[in-house]
């Protein structure tokens, strides 16, 4: 396949976002990497085939393609760029973020093993572990992300993996990765973190001892709400194991998606800087508004993990979660009064997106079930895009005042 020089580890975030993983001279003299839209790669003759198979047998990186499920020139370029941004030896791109999670767990776990999850992991990750893996004889323990004693107590002789997130969804908790990985390494447990909300620009978990980083590249890495993708990054041996597993499981990226992801990555540093700025400003505004009961954002000193976030992170992202001084219906009226953000379930793109978790991701649950897992009706998750912060704040203010004008001013 197409080969490129090893990306420099000395460049800044924007330089690596643009250049890492790419050869200066690309096929056909193109400035951008061309899309290789093929499922099959052909060999010139038997000698070329023998040489290719011999490299594979020796465990060497192939010089060219063989079949689309095993790779694509664009995939190799994107993976090199992502590895450089994460400070990882290798990266692997999947067809979606959930594919990255499920394929990783299926590849690394066996019947009789145990997995430890922190309680605020993505609900579909928990569902996969508690329902699907349980059918395969894999045990699962769920612990609080800030209770290190509980984490260590949950680890048993058959524990193979610990899975957490940073920041978490929706309360943006940030576990102390240094303490967490000290525990996992002492017990020989592989640590996995979903760092989708942080991106490699705000947090590089591998530098804190984490073994494997996973992202839903659908979010900030792609950045334009127009693709589905996932990525795992770590050491070469671990990624080689995951790659072999995915060759069987088949959650592979398609060439068009890879092109969009590569394009999105080139502006990652610029976009994340704006997301960080907007998130911080929105959080500070909401914290000061009398119609808002509570705000969760790691950049606020009121957040329970603010000091940990300050130590681990360079920025705090664009997602702000807050609770209004109203009920489910009042919160729905507030969201309907917003004019700039789209109402939807995702985040990390250039457009702002807002959701009321009780009526979106947790609609099927009863009020009692939602309250039990910390999803009250008045909760809002706002994923700030890259619009002007003054416009977003003005829109929030008019929506808050439109819904609770008298109550808000009276309490103020």
Catalytic residues: 69, 122, 194, 219
Please say whether the dihedral angle defined by the alpha carbons of residues 58, 63, 67 and 68, taken in this order, is positive or negative.
positive
What residues form DSSP beta bridges with 323?
Answer: 294, 379
Assigned token pair, 371: 């309250």
- DSSP single-letter state for residue 67: B
Q: Give the integer Cα–Cα distance in Å for 238 and 108.
A: 9
Beta-sheet pairing, 292-296 with 319-324: antiparallel
Q: Buried b / exposed e across 220-239, counting CB within 10 Å, b at 16+?
A: bbbbebebbbbbbbbeeebb
Listing DSSP states for 284-339 in one string gives HHHHH-TTEEEEE-TTSTTSTTHHHHHHH-S---SEEEEEESS-HHHHHHHHHH-S
Q: Give the integer Cα–Cα distance in Å for 167 and 296.
A: 11
**Peptide bond connecting 167 to the previous residue in cis, omega within 30 degrees of 0:** yes
At residue 97, the 3 state secondary structure works out as helix
Closest CA to 159 of 176, 179, 139: 139
Long-range contacts of 5-8 (CB under 8 A, 24+ apart): 7/80, 7/81, 7/83, 7/84, 8/84
Listing DSSP states for 347-376 in one string gives -SSSS-EEE-GGGTTTTTS-HHHHHHTT--
| Cα 361–Cα 363–Cα 368 angle in degrees, nearest 5 | 115
At residue 78, the 3 state secondary structure works out as helix
């Amino acid at each position: 396949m197409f080969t490129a020089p090893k990306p420099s580890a000395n460049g800044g975030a924007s330089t690596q976002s643009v250049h890492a993983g790419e050869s200066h001279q690309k096929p056909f003299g193109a400035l951008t990497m061309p899309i290789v839209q093929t499922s099959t790669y052909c060999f010139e003759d038997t000698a070329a085939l023998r040489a290719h198979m011999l490299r594979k047998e020796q465990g060497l990186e192939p010089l060219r393609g063989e079949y689309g499920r095993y790779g694509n020139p664009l995939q190799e370029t994107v993976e090199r760029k992502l590895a450089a941004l994460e400070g990882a030896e290798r990266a692997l791109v999947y067809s979606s973020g959930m594919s990255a999670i499920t394929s990783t767990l299926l590849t690394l776990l066996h019947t009789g093993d145990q997995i430890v999850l922190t309680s605020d992991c993505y609900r579909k990750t928990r569902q996969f572990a508690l329902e699907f893996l349980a059918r395969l004889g894999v045990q699962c323990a769920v612990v609080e992300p800030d209770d290190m004693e509980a984490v260590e107590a949950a680890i048993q002789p058959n524990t193979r993996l610990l899975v957490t997130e940073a920041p978490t969804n929706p309360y943006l908790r940030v576990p102390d990765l240094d303490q967490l990985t000290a525990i996992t390494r002492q017990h020989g447990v592989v640590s996995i973190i979903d760092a989708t909300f942080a991106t490699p620009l705000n947090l590089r978990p591998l530098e804190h001892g984490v073994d494997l980083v996973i992202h839903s590249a659908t979010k900030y890495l792609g950045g334009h709400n127009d693709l589905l993708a996932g990525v795992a990054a770590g050491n070469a041996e671990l990624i080689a194991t995951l790659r072999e597993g995915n060759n069987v499981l088949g959650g592979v990226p398609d060439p068009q998606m890879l092109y969009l992801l590569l394009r999105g990555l080139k502006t990652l540093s610029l976009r994340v800087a704006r997301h960080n700025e907007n998130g911080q400003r929105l959080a500070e505004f909401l914290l000061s508004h009398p119609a808002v009961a509570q705000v969760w954002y790691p950049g606020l000193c009121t957040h329970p993990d603010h000091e940990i976030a300050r130590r681990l992170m360079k920025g705090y992202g664009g997602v702000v979660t807050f609770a209004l001084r109203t009920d489910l219906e009042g919160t729905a009226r507030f969201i309907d009064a917003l004019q700039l953000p789209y109402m939807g379930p995702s985040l990390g793109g250039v457009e702002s997106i807002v959701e009321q978790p009780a009526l979106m991701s947790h609609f099927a649950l009863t009020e009692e079930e939602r309250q039990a897992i910390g999803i009250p009706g008045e909760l809002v998750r706002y994923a700030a895009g890259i619009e002007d912060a003054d416009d977003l704040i003005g829109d929030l203010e008019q929506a808050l005042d439109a819904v609770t004008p008298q109550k808000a001013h009276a309490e103020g």
